[in-house]
């Protein structure tokens, strides 16, 4: 990737035809190091958040060696870009062929499940192997999350104990996991879920080797400022110490959004201004799926090739380039009132799911990728003063002093 100091440098140096993804590898490295230094257990990157090869390569270079995968294509990506990586197949519903190929072709030994039928599939397709780790996913409350993931996966409490017992009989190592929902805004949600898991383990009357607290770790978006990341780690540590009947159990987490949200933005060109409507060359079928369908509040700023935008702002709606009327983002987005055709809007914090959800619908979708060195939006992690961009945008650190926490294991 060619590197520019800031996106504005790119806009003022040459013509921008297609959307441009601005990558910030230093933000991936920083987030990876933060979790490795501060989470007291194993950190698995949830590949679904952003499967870009440059992301995987950067994480691997930064020391991430454990990956949460959900399909054979994700397994292949990790195998190609992260030599020696360990993988956990944590999708609770997998095809028989995928289970078989993961085990025999790629050496995957960790599988998730949330029902007896899936347990049976795993056992049959691995020929009742004695070296598998089974992770039972529990259904827990998602009340503390902005985006609920409840309802599709997770064994309900009234069935959980029996499933845990049955999985224990076939697992070399047994774990329990859950997901508190995407963009969790309440650290206490992890504590509540962990204590519920503890209750179900006691009810099952078996020991477990792994407690996987899943993902849900948040990032900062306009009007959406979570508590400090250290508060989440502290809540998890405290709950882990309170969990009962854990003997030599390991602690895992699966951050996705928190590792990559800050690392990508997109430069999209204004093709037409129609009143308060801006027609762009990227939209809901591209990198703005969440902005359109989840009404996610991404930060925006205007870049102009020549001259400076006016100081007065106005509220705008955004429309993408396709012929589909659903390719609309109501906003409102505050931008300079004198915005015009040819201006470039940078939409930030798209590292999580922006690239992963993009399509080529209607013939659109071609993008360029460059690297930039600025960090114009607030970060959940520490940002050194020299990482602030030239626009003097305020960068706020919501993490306390960085320190390496010891890896936790519960001992009898």
User: What confidence score (pLDDT) does residue 244 get?
Assistant: 72
Show the tokens assigned to 23.
Answer: 């990558």
Of residues 391, 308, 400, the one with CA closest to residue 348: 391
Residue 402 lies in a domain: no
pLDDT band per the 50, 70, 90 thresholds, residue 393 = very low
State pLDDT tens for residues 21-69: 999 999 999 999 999 999 999 999 999 999 999 999 999 999 999 999 9
Give the model's pLDDT for residue 396: 33
* Residues 389/394/397/398 CA torsion (nearest 10 deg): -140
Output the CA angle 58-64-70, nearest 5 degrees: 95
- 251 near 198, Cβ under 8 Å? no
User: Which stretches does DSSP call E strand in 277-377?
Assistant: 277-280, 300-303, 313-319, 328-336, 344-347, 368-372
Domain check: are 226 and 370 in the same one?
no
Residue 392 domain-assigned (yes or no): no
With a pLDDT cut of 90, the percent of the chain lying above it is: 86
- Assess if residue 152 is contained within a domain: yes
Output the pLDDT for position 282: 96
| Chain mean pLDDT for the chain | 91
Residue 75 belongs to a domain: yes
Q: What's the pLDDT score for residue 215?
A: 96
Three-state DSSP state, 274: strand
pLDDT of residue 382: 65
In this predicted model, what pLDDT tens digit does every residue of 71-104 receive, in sequence order?
Answer: 999 999 999 999 999 999 999 999 999 999 999 9
Where is average pLDDT lowest: 36-45, 140-149, 346-355?
A: 140-149
CA dihedral sign, ordered 92, 288, 49, 98: positive
Domain check: are 90 and 217 in the same one? yes
Give which of 386, 338, 376 is closest to 7, Cα–Cα: 376
If asked whether residues 288 and 185 sit together in one domain, one would say no
* Segment among 56-70, 108-122, 230-244, 382-396 with least mean pLDDT: 382-396
Which residues, at least 6 apart from 382, have a Cβ–Cβ distance to it below 8 Å? 30, 34, 397, 399, 402
- Give the start-end residues of each E strand in 292-408: 300-303, 313-319, 328-336, 344-347, 368-372
Last residue of a domain, one of 227, 242, 260: 260
**Predicted local confidence at residue 151, as pLDDT:** 85
C-alpha distances in angstroms, 210 versus 42, 170, 198, 408?
10, 15, 12, 11
Last residue of a domain, one of 260, 278, 310: 260
* Whether residue 222 sits in one domain with residue 76: yes
Look at residue 291 and tell me if it is in a domain.
yes
Q: Residue 253's pLDDT band (boundaries 50, 70, 90)? A: very high
Q: Is the pLDDT of residue 395 over 50?
A: no
Both 34 and 182 in one domain: the answer is yes
- 16 and 41 both lie in a single domain: no
CA 1 to chain centre: 23
Q: How confident is the model at residue 405 (pLDDT cuts 50, 70, 90)?
A: low
- Domain containing residue 52: 25-260
- 11 and 140 inside one domain: no
| 138/193 same-domain check | yes
pLDDT at 301: 96
- Residue 40 and residue 10 in one domain: no
In this structure, the answer to whether residues 364 and 227 fall within a common structural domain is no
In terms of domains, do 201 and 311 share one?
A: no
Residue 408: pLDDT band with limits 50, 70, 90: low
Which pLDDT does position 404 carry in this prediction? 53
> Mean of the pLDDT values across residues 184-188?
96
- The answer to whether position 398 is within a domain reads no
CATH of the domain at 304: 2.40.37.10
Cβ–Cβ < 8 Å for 367, 322: no
Mean pLDDT lowest among 140-154, 155-169, 310-324, 344-358: 140-154
Q: Which two tokens stand for residue 353?
A: 């799911």
Per-residue model confidence as pLDDT tens digits over 382-391: 654 444 443 3
Q: Which of 260, 293, 312 is the last residue of a domain?
A: 260
Residues 326 and 307 in one domain: yes
CB 160 within 8 A of CB 137: no
Cβ contacts of residue 177 below 8 Å, gap of 6+? 90, 112, 135, 136, 137, 138, 210, 211, 212, 213, 214, 252
CA separation for the pair 198, 213 (Å, rounded): 12
Residue 207 confidence class, pLDDT cut points 50, 70, 90: very high
Across residues 150-179, what is the average pLDDT? 96
The answer to whether residue 394 is domain-embedded is no
Contact 40, 233 (CB under 8 A): yes
Instruction: Give domain status of residue 408, yes or no.
Output: no
Q: Provide the number of structural domains found in the chain.
A: 2
Q: What CA–CA distances, in Å, run from 344 to 89, 104, 244, 251?
A: 40, 49, 55, 44
Q: What is the mean pLDDT of residues 264-274?
A: 97
Q: If you ran DSSP here, which 8-state letter would residue 315 be given?
A: E
């Amino acid at each position: 990737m060619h590197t520019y100091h800031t996106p504005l440098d790119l806009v003022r140096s040459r013509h921008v035809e297609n959307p441009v993804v601005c990558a910030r590898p230093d933000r991936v490295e920083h987030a990876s190091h933060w979790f490795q230094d501060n989470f007291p257990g194993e950190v698995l990157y949830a590949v679904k958040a952003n499967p870009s090869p440059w992301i995987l390569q950067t994480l691997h270079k930064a020391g991430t060696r454990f990956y949460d995968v959900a399909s054979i294509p994700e397994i292949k990506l990790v195998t190609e870009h992260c030599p020696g990586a360990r993988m956990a197949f944590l999708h609770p519903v997998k095809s028989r062929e995928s289970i078989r190929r993961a085990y025999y072709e790629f050496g995957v030994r960790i599988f998730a499940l949330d029902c007896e039928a899936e347990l049976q599939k795993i056992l049959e397709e691995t020929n009742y192997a004695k070296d598998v780790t089974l992770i039972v996913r529990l259904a827990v409350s998602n009340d503390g999350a902005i985006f609920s993931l409840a309802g599709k996966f997770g064994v309900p409490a009234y069935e959980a104990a029996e499933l845990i017992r049955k999985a224990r009989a076939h697992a070399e190592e047994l774990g329990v996991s859950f997901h508190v929902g995407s963009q969790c805004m309440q650290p206490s949600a992890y504590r509540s879920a962990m204590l519920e898991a503890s209750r179900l383990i006691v009810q099952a009357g078996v020991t477990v080797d792994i407690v996987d607290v899943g993902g849900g770790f948040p990032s900062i978006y306009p009007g959406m400022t979570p508590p400090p990341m250290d508060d989440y780690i502290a809540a998890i540590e405290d709950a882990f110490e309170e969990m009962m009947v854990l003997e030599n159990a390991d602690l895992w987490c699966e951050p996705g959004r928190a590792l990559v949200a800050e690392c990508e933005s997109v430069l999209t060109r204004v093709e037409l201004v129609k009143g308060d409507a801006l027609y762009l060359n990227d939209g809901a079928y591209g990198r703005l799926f969440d902005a359109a369908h989840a009404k996610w509040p991404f930060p925006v700023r205007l870049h102009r090739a020549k001259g400076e935008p006016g100081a007065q702002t106005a509220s705008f709606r955004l429309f993408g380039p396709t012929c589909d009327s659903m390719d609309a983002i109501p906003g409102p987005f505050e931008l300079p009132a004198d915005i015009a055709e040819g201006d470039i809007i940078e939409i930030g914090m798209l590292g999580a799911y922006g690239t992963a959800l993009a399509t080529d619908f209607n013939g659109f979708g071609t993008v360029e990728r460059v690297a930039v060195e600025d960090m114009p939006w607030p970060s959940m992690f520490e940002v050194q003063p020299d990482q602030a961009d030239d626009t003097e945008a305020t960068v706020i650190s919501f993490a306390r002093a960085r320190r390496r926490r010891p890896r936790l294991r519960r001992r009898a």
